[in-house]
A = this chain, B = another copy of it.
Amino acid sequence: MAIIFSFPGFESIASHIASDLKITRGDMEIRHFPDGETYVRLNSPVEGQQVIIICGLDKPDQKIMGLMFFAQVARKMGAKSIGLVAPYLGYMRQDKRFHDGEAITADIFAGFLSQIVDWLVTIDPHLHRHEKLSEIYTIPAAAIHASDHIADWVKSNIARPVLIGPDAESSQWVSEAAKKAGAPFMVLSKIRRGDRDVAVSLPDVATYHDHTPVLIDDIISTAHTMIETVVHLRALSMRPPTCIGVHGIFAGDAYDRLMSAGAHRIVTSNSIPHKSNDIAIEDILATAVSAMIKNNHSHKG
């Protein structure tokens, strides 16, 4: 028996998964007191059940206490296990000590999450120096990929696409999506001339002047990299590019700045609720959750 709860913003994904897997949709309340403290209440019984909570971990500091409170009260109420669906997984970027004395937050955060929940499902986590989540997570952790859905979106929406990865790190997302979309692709490389002076090198683009450039990256946060690339492509007289991010964080006014820079359109998956969401990932989340609840993991703490 399983029951799925949702943090604010993920209600429709939770309902979709509940209906796909024929499991109960749980009701919870989460809010903040005027002094900033978090209040959590579970309104559905969870005794003996596999509890699933969907909570995206963008802006993780704002949500992590609520998630800890949720998990602990669910355990207190007799939950058999607690699984976390985090469509976006935070704290994956500081995966190394770049300077003495730095906290490697990727490791510490993973250790903490591994203590409070029993399994994790996420989409395209920012794995860079680590190859797999199991290097930092001690609980079963599934990283599923949005590349099929991105490829499908490109095929349905762009007539003659050329996929472009704005930097070497993005090549994993772009090459995969290009293969699936049957489209050509290029990966640009950044040439760092100094702290703030970054040039973008571009292979010969003449071949693709009648194609629509589709920039693809895993995360659009400040959008610095995307903006730089859009400006560069426009300078080379390429068509206004469509920008795709698996995860659209859009720090501050990043969305507007990227549009102003010359993007034709910005598209993201619904891993983080935003008006740019046009790639639905409920079905792959449901499949991954289904596998987790079949394995019936229980709490080891």
Contacts and interface: CB of A to CB of B under 8 A. Distances in A.
How many identical subunits does the complex contain? 2
A255 interface: no
A239 to B, nearest CB: 29
Interface string A42-76: 11000000000000001111101110111011000
A101 B42 contact: yes
Interface in A175-216: none
B93 A37 contact: yes
Interface in A102-160: 102-105, 108-109, 111-112
Nearest to A104: B73
Interface residues of A, number: 44
A102 to B, nearest CB: 5
Nearest to A38: B61
Interface of A: 33-43, 58-62, 64-66, 68-70, 72-73, 77, 90-91, 93-94, 99, 101-105, 108-109, 111-112, 221-222, 249, 251-252
13 contacts: A34-B252, A35-B251, A37-B60, A37-B90, A38-B105, A39-B105, A40-B103, A43-B101, A61-B62, A68-B112, A73-B103, A73-B104, A73-B108
